[in-house]
Amino acid sequence: MIKLFWIVLLINLTARAQMLQSDKLLHMGGSYAMSSTVSAIVYNKTKNKNQAVISGLAVSLLIGASKEIYDIKHGDSSWGDMFANTVGATLGIVTIRIAI
């Protein structure tokens, strides 16, 4: 019975993971890269963890918001994209915060 539970759970999780659009993954990945890079650079220069975290998050979200504002007239703006940016930026600073 427990094996059946795990099989059903894994199939369900796999099906849900495939529903995440590749565009959202690109937003998350880009924001992750920006926030972690900026956080690492700021920390190396200042040795201040809080300033590094705030800078990484702020720069990543500012660039993501700017892109979404640009997309209002020139593309396809979406709150889902901004949410993906926020998730990626948060994961990036968490990773750097753990590493330093």
Render pLDDT for 20-33 as a digit per residue (tens, 0 to 9). Answer: 578 888 999 999 99
10 Å CB burial of residue 14 (0-12, 13-18, 19+) is exposed
Q: Which pLDDT tens digit goes with each residue over 4-13?
A: 666 666 666 5
pTM: 0.76
Q: Which pLDDT tens digit goes with each residue over 80-99?
A: 889 999 999 999 999 888 88
pLDDT recorded at residue 84? 92
Instruction: Give the span between the Cα atoms of 92 and 60, in whole angstroms.
Output: 10
